[in-house]
Chain A
Amino acid sequence: MAMAAAAPTVPICHGRRASPCSSKQVSVSVSVAMRAWASKSSSLSSSSSKSPRLVAAHATAVATKEAASTTSSSQGGHELLMFEALREGLSEEMERDPKVCVIGEDVGDYGGSYKVTKGFSEKFGSWRVLDTPIAENSFTGMAIGSAMTGLRPVVEGMNMGFLLLAYNQIANNCGMLHYTSGGQFTIPIVIRGPGGVGRQLGAEHSQRLESYFQSVPGLQMVACSTPYNAKGLMKAAIRCENPVILYEHVLLYNLKEKIPDEEYVCCLEEAEMVRPGTEITILTYSRMRYHVTQAAKTLVDRGYDPEIIDIRSLKPFDMYTIGESVRKTHRVLIVEECMRTGGIGASLRSAIMESFWDELDGPIGCLSSQDVPTPYSGPLEELTVVQPHQIVTAVENLCGKK
Chain B
Amino acid sequence: MNGSKSMLKLAAAALSKGLQESPLKSGLAEKGNFCRTVFLTRRYSAECSGKETNPTSKKSDSGEIDVEIPVKFDLHLLESGPSQVTTTNKEELMKIYTDMQIIRRAEIAADMLFKSQMIRGFCHLYDGQEAVSVGLERALSYDDNVITAYRDHGIFLGRGGTVFELFSELMGKRTGCALGKGGSMHLYHREHNFWGGWGIVGTTPPLGAGLAFGQKYEKKPNVTAAIYGDGAGNQGQLFEAQNLAALWNLPLILVIENNHFGMGTAEWRSSKKTTHYDRVSYIPGIKTDGMDVFAVGEAFKLCKEHCLSGKGPITLEADTYRYHGHSMSDPGSTYRSRQEIQGMRQERDPIERVRKIILKEELATNEELKDLDKQIRHEVDEASAKAREAEFPGEEELFANIYKADSGLIVTGCDRKHSKVQMS
Contacts and interface: CB of A to CB of B under 8 A. Distances in A.
Interface in B1-48: 28-29, 31
Given A367-B414, A375-B181, A110 B200 contact: no
A217 B395 CA distance: 39
B414 A134 contact: no
Interface in A178-237: 198-205
A133 interface: yes
Interface stretch (B91-99, B228-236, B369-377): B228-236
Interface in B163-205: 169, 172-173, 178, 180-186, 198-202
Nearest to A126: B28
Contacts of A370: 398-399, 413-414
B402 A205 contact: no
B147 to A, nearest CB: 15
B31 A204 contact: no
Contacts of A393: 415
B334 interface: yes
A62 B259 CA distance: 49
B414 A205 contact: no
Given A375-B398, A378-B392, A202 B180 contact: no
Interface in B121-161: 121-122
A390 B415 contact: yes
B84 to A, nearest CB: 34
Contact of A134 (B183, B185, B201): B201
B172 A110 contact: no
Interface string B246-281: 000000000000000011110001110000000000
Interface in A372-402: 372-373, 375-380, 383-384, 386, 390, 393-394, 397
B312 interface: no
Contact of B393 (A109, A161, A380): A380
B335 A105 contact: no
A121 B34 CA distance: 15
A325 to B, nearest CB: 23
Interface residues of A, number: 46
A371 interface: yes
A308 to B, nearest CB: 19
Interface residues of B, number: 48
B187 to A, nearest CB: 11
B120 interface: yes
Contacts of A202: 121-122, 182-186, 199
B52 interface: no
B78 interface: no
A278 interface: no
Contacts of B234: 133-135
B33 to A, nearest CB: 11
B411 interface: yes
Nearest to A371: B411
B120 A378 contact: yes
B414 A377 contact: no
A113 interface: yes
B397 interface: yes
B185 A131 contact: no
A132 interface: yes
A118 to B, nearest CB: 11
Contact of A133 (B121, B183, B185, B262): B262
B172 A377 contact: yes
Interface centre among B29, B182, B198 (most CB of A within 10 A): B182
Contacts of A383: 395, 398
A372 B399 contact: yes
B172 A378 contact: yes
Nearest to B180: A377
B200 A106 contact: no
Contacts of B29: 109
A117 B263 CA distance: 16
B263 to A, nearest CB: 6
Interface string A110-131: 1001000000011000100001
A142 interface: no
A3 interface: no
Contact of B415 (A113, A375, A394): A394
Contacts, number: 146
A165 interface: yes
A138 interface: yes
A368 interface: yes
A137 interface: yes
A162 interface: yes
A200 to B, nearest CB: 4
A135 B392 contact: no
A124 to B, nearest CB: 13
Contacts of B28: 126
A377 B198 contact: no
A368 B414 contact: yes
A161 B415 CA distance: 27
A377 B173 contact: yes
Contacts of B181: 203, 373, 375-377, 380
Interface centre among A109, A126, A131, A138 (most CB of B within 10 A): A109
Nearest to A130: B28
A197 to B, nearest CB: 11
B183 A376 contact: yes
Nearest to A365: B415
Contacts of A380: 172, 180-181, 392-393, 395, 397-398
B270 A133 contact: yes
Given A134-B234, A372-B402, A200 B413 contact: no
Contacts of B271: 133
B120 A131 contact: no
A343 to B, nearest CB: 13
B270 A131 contact: yes
Interface string B198-241: 11111000000000000000000000000000011011110000
Contacts of B183: 200-202, 376-377
A131 B236 contact: no
Nearest to B412: A340
A388 to B, nearest CB: 12
6 contacts: A134-B232, A198-B121, A201-B121, A367-B414, A377-B397, A393-B415
6 nearest A-B pairs in the assembled complex, by CB-CB distance: A376-B183, A377-B172, A110-B264, A204-B199, A377-B180, A200-B121
Given A164-B200, A165-B237, 20 more contacts: A105-B265, A109-B29, A109-B264, A110-B263, A113-B263, A126-B28, A131-B270, A133-B270, A201-B183, A202-B183, A205-B185, A376-B172, A376-B186, A377-B180, A377-B181, A377-B392, A378-B392, A380-B172, A390-B414, A390-B415
Interface of A: 105-106, 109-110, 113, 121-122, 126, 131-135, 137-138, 161-162, 164-165, 198-205, 367-368, 370-373, 375-380, 383-384, 386, 390, 393-394, 397
